[in-house]
Amino acid sequence: MQKEFYSLPLAVEKLMREPGDQSHHTRHRELAKCSLQQSVEQNLHLLLTTAFGEFPADELFGCSIWENDFDNLTSAPKMKESIRQSILQSVQQHENRLGKVRVELMIQQEELPDAKGRRVKKRIEITISGMLQLTNEKFIHRDSFFVGPLSY
């Protein structure tokens, strides 16, 4: 049985029927679909960009990157391991289509041009790898963020 995966963001308005609409013709109401790989990537990106407690239906959906957003006191190695563990645990809990999950993290400071000159920001590079359970294919997802405050 072929599974269908929907692309994010969901166009919820396409699911809604107009009052009095009795037509069963739903072609114009189709949601955009994507591959298994794209669906997992989208879910991981959503997981990485969500702070704990931000999603009311599941307060544990997300990761701790955003708890450390302005933290300048914790040592870099300690912060890195804490974030890595948080991401690993969240992926294992919220993305069951991925097995043998590994998370690698790199935190570095970068100078960025600013209206007032140059600005130093932390850049977090994340690599999540594993095996797609359904197909036994290798899977690698890479994402990076500037934090303090967040920017893509």
Q: Read off the pLDDT of residues 75-110 as tens digits, 9 standing for 90 and up.
A: 678 888 988 999 999 999 999 999 999 999 998 887
Bigger pLDDT: 96 vs 64? 96
Paired with 111 in beta bridges are 120
Interval 58-78 mean pLDDT: 75
Q: Which of 12-26, 60-74, 115-129 has the highest mean pLDDT?
A: 115-129
Domains and CATH numbers, the chain: 31-147 (3.10.450.40)
Nearest by Cα to 40 from 1, 98, 87: 98
- What rounded mean pLDDT belongs to the chain? 81
Which tokens hold the place of 124?
A: 């977090």
Nearest by Cα to 44 from 96, 110, 106, 120: 96
Distance between CA atoms of residues 78 and 132, nearest Å: 30
Bigger pLDDT: 107 vs 118? 107
